[in-house]
Amino acid sequence: MTANGWLQFALYCLILLATVRPVGIYLARVLEGERTWLTPLLRPIERLIYKLSGVNADQEMDWRQYAFALLGFSGVSLLVTYGIERLQNLLPFNPQGLAAVGPDLAWSTAASFTTNTNWQSYVPETTMSYLTQMAALATHNFFSAACGIAVAIALIRGIKRTTSGTIGNFWVDMTRTMLYVLVPASLVYALLLVAQGVPQNLSAYTQAHTLEQQTQTIAQGPVASQEAIKMLGTNGGGFFNANSSHPFENPTPFSNLLQMLSIFVIPAGLTFTLGRLTGSPGHGWAVLAAMFVLFAAGFTTVYWAEAQPHPLIHGAAQAGTLTAPGGNMEGKEVRFGVSQSALFATITTDASCGAVNTMHDSLTPLGGMVVLTNIMLGEVVFGGVGAGLYGILIFVVLSVFIAGLMVGRTPEYLGKKIEAYDVKMSMLYVLIFPLIILTLTAISILSPTIGLSSLANQGPHGLTEILYAFTSAVGNNGSAFAGLNANTWWYNVVLGWAMLGGRFLMLIPVLALAGNLAQKKSVPPSPGTFPVNGSIFTILLVGVILILGALTFFPALSLGPILEHLLLKAGQVF
Amino acid sequence: MHSTSTIAPPAVSKAVSASHSVWRTSIRFTLVATLLVGLGYPLVVTGIAAVLFPHKAGGSLIKLSDGTVIGSELLAQSFTSDKYFHPRPSAAGNGYDATASGGSNLAQSSKALVDRIQGSIDKLAAENPGHPVPIDLVTTSASGLDPDITPDAARFQAPRIAKARHLGDAQVAGLIEQNTAGRQFGLLGEPRVNVLALNLELDKLAK
């Protein structure tokens, strides 16, 4: 670990904190339908979208209508993506003449991008045409991000409204999020990335004749436009196989800083939106503080683990110096070194982004365990755009409930009584997650032919590869221990369903909770009300997240990365 | 019985028309939004990028005067000759394949990884005895296309280059110094040397 590494971490945190308030205020204005500085320009386009799609923007929806609209839209857009993939050989923007994508891969990819997961079982450079990348995959980077924000704002409305049957209009929330937030931000961001060296063209691949008289085919494409929304929407699906480690996706340390900031900027801002819209700014900051504690602890551990020398390698300079990062450089890029690889890995798994600038399969056992655990906590440490906020609010409800049990009072949250139905919905959300992950991992491990045959690494690390795949899928993260060959019918089909389960089975209880909260009367706070701001609340929230998230998975982790770490220390390799 | 069945139909048809309208709106909204963010947005970015940053938007290609492309400033290419600085080992395809980017994905506990790294160290140690081998020179990068090596890794290779090209040690060291990029804005990332740029400079020196 170096002083410069810590300095870069501190810089990252400072810039992020500075964005929380302005971003949170802007999001609140957009989602409450208020005027913003972009309104004069964009309002006519917004009206046109409603007109063309037949949306009545004034119609409020109850939670069931909201959920049906979300499911209907997700279903239709999933089918469109599947269709474009299957027909890409007949469609334009395919200069490499790539063949149609096979049915099981097209399914897993369509499910993957619809659910904000962006798990990729394929090498994009030789699989996906430019049209598929732009109109079938990057579209979902916008759609799924906007869906996540829509559900988060619906839940905030549920908390805020009293004796109301409705939680907003899904189409309006989608349209305004995309039009006023995601599209303009991506446009500017994409051009910044091009300025750093990210390509943006529709040309065929370039044939280069190298200095040593060999040929090198250089993949091209509309990379920057996809890269921007891939990060900003916490999607993470790479334009290239190597994702954000590829010099074309992430050419400089500055582009790397931008990418890391753009993962957290909306999830962090939404905590401020929460505080502002519910009239309790202290609560927003307390939630953000809990996220920050878990984030900083994760980074510290990964950075420490990755800076360690490999115990079995001799004769190499493995110590970090001013001119060489040292440590574990397998699967890392020189321009990022150990510190910025560890930071990116922590951020991308805290948020359900899943873009990588380092290969997670080659992380040290403990570094890999922390990034896996970040996902296992439920993608609530900042989390996916919107999904992180509604995820952590579920844990907030449970924290308030547990605090209520301790003092023997009916728990309240921001003036709403938390009753049996609310706790049931929250527990449903919390239980569906490990249930799918652990069941599917167990089934895969039991089968040598369809499960274990895809492994790249043996020993405890093999278990971690499979566990990571299902955790990443259900957590809608999308990063991978990529040695696992997931492009088989078993993994494609099952991971596809796991991603859909991890998204929609968890999202419906959230909307049900929103609907139920919206109906309730507001009760004034009393001396017995547990305050949801301040450090005691933050500590309780962190504790609940760790106990529910980490302890559920501890047995699996002890058989995977913990065992691997101990065996490697003892000199055992596989 | 009769009266309930006369009440039922409107309720059913209302539900049916509500679900019809969800599907209709879903289809229309998907098409409109796909046109906006799936074609409009990337094509606008492509157009602006082509005007503002034509070189970078095209992949930062290095061309000879006759238009032949040598490679990209941003991508590693294979170098095996003693006369050139070598990039980091690559796991992209069969090595430095810019259509199959990726890492080795070998675990730290993989015997294949430990054997590979130790083998490379032993080989390189013979080339420059007495100096520990910089770890980045024996580990595959994440992309397999990492264009950079650390300044330490460049200096480690300097004696080989000096010998193969009959250059003075100071001359090679100076060239490395000139081609070392510090941390961006003095703070971000790590110091690094772009291998292709350095090798192009070496060739210029020969002429």
- As a three-state string, the secondary structure of A450-485 is CCHHHCCCCCHHHHHHHHHHHHHHHCCCCCCCCCCC
How far is A376 from A467, CA to CA, in rounded Å?
10
CB A148 within 8 A of CB A386: yes
Interface test with B, best of A171, A334, A487 (most B CBs within 10 A): A334
Q: Does A59 touch chain B if contact means CB atoms closer than 8 Å?
A: no
Residue with the larger pLDDT of the pair A72 and B15: A72
Residues A199, B48: C-beta atoms closer than 8 Å: no
How far is A151 from A158, CA to CA, in rounded Å?
10
The label of the residue with tokens 């800083």 reads A257
Paired residues of B133 in beta bridges: A316
Name the token pair of A443.
């089934």
Please give the C-alpha separations between residue A447 and each of A371, A383, A431, A439, in angstroms, as whole numbers.
26, 33, 25, 13
Percent of chain B with pLDDT over 70: 90
Among chain A residues, the shortest Cα distance to B150 is held by A324
Residues of B with Cβ-Cβ distance to A55 under 8 angstroms: 25, 29
Q: Residue A75: CB partners within 8 Å, gap ≥ 6?
A: B26
Residues of A with Cβ-Cβ distance to B176 under 8 angstroms: none
Residues B99, A54: C-beta atoms closer than 8 Å: no
**φ/ψ (deg, to 5) at B72:** -115, 140
How far is B97 from A551, CA to CA, in rounded Å?
42
CB A200 within 8 A of CB B46: yes
Nearest to A199 among B26, B57, B142 (CB): B57
Nearest to A219 among B18, B26, B98 (CB): B98
Residues of B with Cβ-Cβ distance to A248 under 8 angstroms: 59, 72, 74-75
How far is A92 from A266, CA to CA, in rounded Å?
34
Residues B118, A125: C-beta atoms closer than 8 Å: no
Three-point CA angle A550, A556, A562, nearest 5°: 85
Residues of A with Cβ-Cβ distance to B121 under 8 angstroms: 313-316
Nearest to A201 among B21, B57, B118 (CB): B57
**Alpha carbon of B173: minimum distance to chain A alpha carbons (Å):** 15
Find residues 165-184 of chain A whose CB sits inside 8 Å of chain B.
171, 174, 178, 182-183
Interface test with A, best of B39, B136, B139, B190 (most A CBs within 10 A): B190
B148-149 β-sheet, strand order? B148-149, B192-194, B180-181
How far is A1 from A321, CA to CA, in rounded Å?
9
**Alpha carbon of A526: minimum distance to chain B alpha carbons (Å):** 43
Residues A216, B98: C-beta atoms closer than 8 Å: yes
Neighbours of A352 (CB within 10 A): 37
Q: Does A331 touch chain B if contact means CB atoms closer than 8 Å?
A: yes
Q: How far from chain centre, in Å, is Cα A295?
A: 14
Residues B25, A329: C-beta atoms closer than 8 Å: no
Q: Does A308 touch chain B if contact means CB atoms closer than 8 Å?
A: no
Q: Residue A70: CB partners within 8 Å, gap ≥ 6?
A: A147, A150, A151, A170, A507, A511
Q: pLDDT band for position B18 (50/70/90)?
A: low
Residues B187, A252: C-beta atoms closer than 8 Å: no
Residues of A with Cβ-Cβ distance to B19 under 8 angstroms: 68
Residues B108, A247: C-beta atoms closer than 8 Å: no
Q: Does A561 touch chain B if contact means CB atoms closer than 8 Å?
A: no
How far is A359 from A483, CA to CA, in rounded Å?
9
Residues A199, B59: C-beta atoms closer than 8 Å: yes
Longest dimension (CA), chain A: 79
Residues B69, A72: C-beta atoms closer than 8 Å: no
Rg of chain B on CA atoms, in Å: 29
How far is A360 from A480, CA to CA, in rounded Å?
7
Nearest to A310 among B30, B108, B184 (CB): B108
Interface test with B, best of A230, A246, A464 (most B CBs within 10 A): A246
Residues B134, A316: C-beta atoms closer than 8 Å: yes
Q: Residue A6: CB partners within 8 Å, gap ≥ 6?
A: A339
CB B39 within 8 A of CB A180: no
How far is A458 from A564, CA to CA, in rounded Å?
10
Backbone dihedral region for residue B191 (phi beyond 0: left; psi -120 to 50: alpha; all else: beta): beta
User: What three-state secondary structure class fits A316?
Assistant: strand
How far is B170 from A544, CA to CA, in rounded Å?
61
Q: Does A42 touch chain B if contact means CB atoms closer than 8 Å?
A: no
How far is A89 from A100, CA to CA, in rounded Å?
5
Name the token pair of A187.
């446009």
The label of the residue with tokens 């699967």 reads A331
Residues A312, B114: C-beta atoms closer than 8 Å: yes
Name the token pair of A159.
């908390």
* DSSP, residue by residue, A167-219: -B-HHHHHHHIIIIIIHHHHHHHHHHHHHHT--B--PPPEEEE-TTS-EEEE-
CB B192 within 8 A of CB B149: yes
How far is A498 from A477, CA to CA, in rounded Å?
12
Which run of H or of E encompasses A276? Answer: helix A253-277
Residues of A with Cβ-Cβ distance to B29 under 8 angstroms: 49, 53, 55, 73, 171, 174
- In the predicted structure, residue B5 carries a pLDDT above the cut 50: no
CB B172 within 8 A of CB B64: no
Q: pLDDT band for position B19 (50/70/90)?
A: low
Q: Where are the alpha helices (DSSP H) in B83-165?
A: 111-127, 151-165
Sign of CA dihedral A240, A243, A247, A248: positive
Name the token pair of A408.
């023997």
Nearest to B48 among A191, A209, A316 (CB): A191
**Mean pLDDT, 10 residues at a time, chain A of 574 residues:** 94 98 98 95 97 95 96 97 97 96 95 94 95 97 97 96 95 97 98 98 97 96 98 96 98 98 98 96 97 97 96 91 88 97 98 96 97 95 96 96 89 94 95 96 93 93 97 96 93 95 95 97 87 94 91 94 97 95
Q: Which of A289, A30, A273, A59 is nearest to A156 (CA)?
A: A273
Neighbours of A68 (CB within 10 A): 18
Q: Does A571 touch chain B if contact means CB atoms closer than 8 Å?
A: no
How far is A307 from A114, CA to CA, in rounded Å?
36
**Alpha carbon of B201: minimum distance to chain A alpha carbons (Å):** 12
3-state helix, strand, coil in chain A (%, to 5): 65, 5, 30
Q: Residue B143: CB partners within 8 Å, gap ≥ 6?
A: A240, A242, A245, A246, A247, A333, B92, B101, B102, B103
C-alpha distance across the termini of chain A, in Å: 28
Interface test with A, best of B141, B150, B196 (most A CBs within 10 A): B141
The whole-number pLDDT of residue A8 equals 97
C-alpha distance across the termini of chain B, in Å: 102
Q: Which of A482, A555, A513, A545 is nearest to A420 (CA)?
A: A513
Residues of A with Cβ-Cβ distance to B44 under 8 angstroms: 187
Name the token pair of B110.
């993989």
**Mean per-residue pLDDT of chain B:** 91
Residues of B with Cβ-Cβ distance to A345 under 8 angstroms: none
- pLDDT digit string (tens) for B55-89? 999 999 999 999 999 999 999 999 999 999 999 99
Residues B52, A194: C-beta atoms closer than 8 Å: yes
Residues of B with Cβ-Cβ distance to A214 under 8 angstroms: 77-78
The model's pTM is 0.96
Paired residues of A98 in beta bridges: none
Residues B99, A217: C-beta atoms closer than 8 Å: yes
Q: Residue A434: CB partners within 8 Å, gap ≥ 6?
A: A376, A552, A553
Residues B69, A208: C-beta atoms closer than 8 Å: yes
Domain positions in chain B? 10-54, 60-205
Between chain A and chain B, the number of residue pairs with CB atoms below 8 A apart is 404
Find residues 190-209 of chain A whose CB sits inside 8 Å of chain B.
190-191, 194-203, 205-209
User: What three-state secondary structure class fits B194?
Assistant: strand
Residues B105, A171: C-beta atoms closer than 8 Å: no
How far is A16 from A296, CA to CA, in rounded Å?
13
**Alpha carbon of A275: minimum distance to chain B alpha carbons (Å):** 31
Residues of B with Cβ-Cβ distance to A246 under 8 angstroms: 101, 143, 145
**Alpha carbon of B176: minimum distance to chain A alpha carbons (Å):** 13
The whole-number pLDDT of residue A320 equals 83
Q: Which of A177, A168, A176, A392 is nearest to A268 (CA)?
A: A392
**Alpha carbon of A539: minimum distance to chain B alpha carbons (Å):** 33
